[in-house]
Amino acid sequence: MKDTLLKEAVKMLDYSYSPYSNYKVGAAILTDTGKIYTGCNIENASYGATICAERTAAVKAVSEGEKRFTAIAIACSGSTFAYPCGICRQFLYEFCVPGMKLYLIKKDGETREELFEEMLPYGFRGSDIN
C-alpha cells in the first residue's frame, strides 16, 4: 500500500495550481478503511486563500465520511522534503491514528518515512478541550 500511496502523491503534482510560487505539492492520505484520498496545493492571488495539498486531501476524505487517517504521502517539486506546515499539522492531527506514517518524496524521487506524531508532539483534538 505504501508504494501506491507514494505514486498517488506524485501523480497529484500534475494537478497543482501554483502560478505564484511554482512550487508543486501533491498529497495522498490512506484511511483506516483502506481508501486513498488525494490533493494538491491550490494557490490564490489572495495568498491567505491558498490551500495546501495535505488539507485538500483531508477535506476530501472527511467530506466522504473518513475520519481516521493511517498514513499520508507528500510529494513536492523541490529539492528538499516538504514537511506539512503548522496549520496542516494541526488539521491532520485531528484525524490521525496513533502510529500514523508520514512519507515524504522529493523531486529526485528520494523518500523519507517518519511518524506523524513527531511533527506535532503537543497537538490537540476537540475532545481534549471539552
Catalytic residues: 54
Longest C-alpha distance within the chain, in Å?
A: 45
For 99, other C-beta atoms within 10 Å of its C-beta total: 10
In this structure, is the dihedral angle defined by the CA atoms of residues 25, 79, 69 and 30, taken in order, positive or negative?
positive
Q: How far is 64 from 36, CA to CA, in rounded Å?
A: 11
- The alpha-carbon radius of gyration of the chain (Å, integer) is 14
Residues 127, 130: Cα–Cα separation, whole Å: 6
Q: What is the CB-side half-sphere exposure of residue 84 using CA atoms within 13 A?
A: 30
